[in-house]
Structure 1
Amino acid sequence: MSDSDTLILVNLKAYPCDPVEIAETCAAVADDTGARVAVAPQAAHLAAVADTGVETWAQHVSPVEHGSHTGSTLAEAVADAGATGTLINHSENRLKLADIDASLDAAERAGLETVVCANNPAQSGAAAALGPDAVAVEPPELIGGDVSVATADPAIVEDSVAAVEAVDADVDLFCGAGVSTGEDVTAAGELGATGVLLASGVAKAADPEAVLRDLVSGL
């Protein structure tokens, strides 16, 4: 995957930020630099974020079809709101194996790109066997911290890349947890990752644009 295809995915979680403002900033940085930057807001904000023109992802889709599923996040509804991809099995929203598989089916049904999150190399390989577009390795102990996984434990990224490639070479490997600088993005790429996930580094930043421009400088 070329640098221009490397994904920087900003997960806004449920942080008290302005999702449209951040989306507009991400869109502007992407337009200026040619970098691929996406935003994953709360489900209720998907349409407003998509309206900014930024690549928009859901934080989750439920393992359900149309029907009696109150409280679920329907993949088709996510796509209708303007999302083109979704995270699945984030460390803060773990699913059973069968539900990961069903959520992937739902996302495929709705035409959504998929990234399944995993904690370690073994889980990364198992996730790759389910056929997502990418697997993102994120050690939970580093999520929300100031040290990226690529710096704290590069072997986790390297071993996850190897585990995924051994199962399905067509599945990309992303990394997350503590990513906040262009140096982190560069380090992740050197270890074989083709995308990064981050959240607080942008969502909690005093100057999100400065952080984003630093991040894309690492491509």
Structure 2
Amino acid sequence: MSDTSADAGVVQSRRQLERLVADDELAGRTISGFAAPGVLLRSLDLDGVIVERVDLQDADGEDSRLERAELRQSDLRRSRWTGGLWNRVKATESDLTQIDLRGAQVLRCELGPVRMAKAGFGGARIMNTTFKSTELYSADFSRAVLTKVTFDGYDGSTVSLSRTDWTGAALFEVDFKRANLYGATFREALLFRCDLRGVNLSSADLRGARLVGCQTHGVDLDDAQL
């Protein structure tokens, strides 16, 4: 493939990717079928990007903007997107284990089914977003603000929110219905008009948590700390 092919069409090599990164010309591109672990993607405009079957483990996307982007069958384990913007991002069949979205804005996204175990959302702002059958065990949501977020597809499923950390978080109209929150920590968290019907909160830490106008029918609080 000639060098000029990097200027149009599908990005199919790390070399092409790094050239376009240098010129901040990735917006609207399809990136497909290669490995680029640890690649630098900082402070980029990634509007309309499609990432498909790409290895982006440990990539550094700090302060980058993903808008109307799609992640498909890709490996983003341990990648960093701190302080960035994810707006209308769709992610499916991808591994986002230990992804770092601390302090990021996650708006109107559809995430799942994906793996996001031990993901970092500390201090993030998450709004109008759906996590669909997404594995989030041990994820960190401490000090995050969630508004109208839905955790869907957890009823009778193997995926869970067990041992997640919500310390000091503020949750407004969040739908946890029938989710597995075994051993989760909600210390000093605020939950306002959240749907907790049928949720498993056994062994959870709810000390100092405030629940205002929440639906709690059928909640399992066995061995929870209140």
TM-score by length of 1: 0.25
Which has more helix, going by share of residues?
Answer: 1
Bigger relative CO (Cα 8 Å, ≥ 6 apart): 1
Report the structure number with the largest CA radius of gyration.
2
